[in-house]
Amino acid sequence: MKKIKIGNAVLCEHVLQSQHNKHVLVNTYSGDIVVEKFPTQLTLGIYIEIELPGITTSKVKLETIYAKNKIVQASGELKFPKPESRGVLVIPVFTFDVEKDEYLEIYVSVEGFSRTQTIKKHVLQGEIPIFSTTHVQTTL
């Protein structure tokens, strides 16, 4: 089966639709999702770009799994402006409970293509890493 080509895949706290086919991704996760303590609630948004060469319309399914349990499932029709362009899948915001150290996985499925994992994040309890500095030097 053919593979789905993934462009950008971003997990954040909220995705907002902006003007001129742009999106605002609020508080993106660059690594693990670290929480202060369990249990807690997470609020997330998902932004994924996919390419399906030669296709202009397709049925798409997105699944979000935490601790091997499906927490969000969305499906719909994705229309590509041109056969060679990228389509965008957006889940603006959703909230769910996390109770233990586990993995959050996001999969995309399209008819005629193999199911593809687009994001995998470790959800764990710990000290939230913060980088700070008192001196910044720029060179031009």
Q: Please answer whether residues 14 and 92 qualify as being in contact, where contact means their C-beta atoms are separated by less than 8 angstroms.
A: yes
Q: Alpha-carbon distance 34 to 32, whole Å?
A: 6
For 84-117, the DSSP string reads TSEEEEEEEEEEEEE-SSEEEEEEEEETTB--EE
| Among the listed residues 2, 17, 1, 13, the one whose alpha carbon sits nearest the alpha carbon of residue 89 | 17
The β-bridge relationship of strands 40-51 and 86-98 is antiparallel
58-69: per-residue pLDDT in tens?
A: 999 999 999 999
**pLDDT tens profile 76-128:** 999 888 877 888 999 999 999 999 999 999 999 998 899 999 999 999 999 87
Q: Which tens digit of pLDDT belongs to each residue from 68-87?
A: 999 999 999 998 888 778 88
Structural domains for the chain: 5-125 (2.60.40.10)
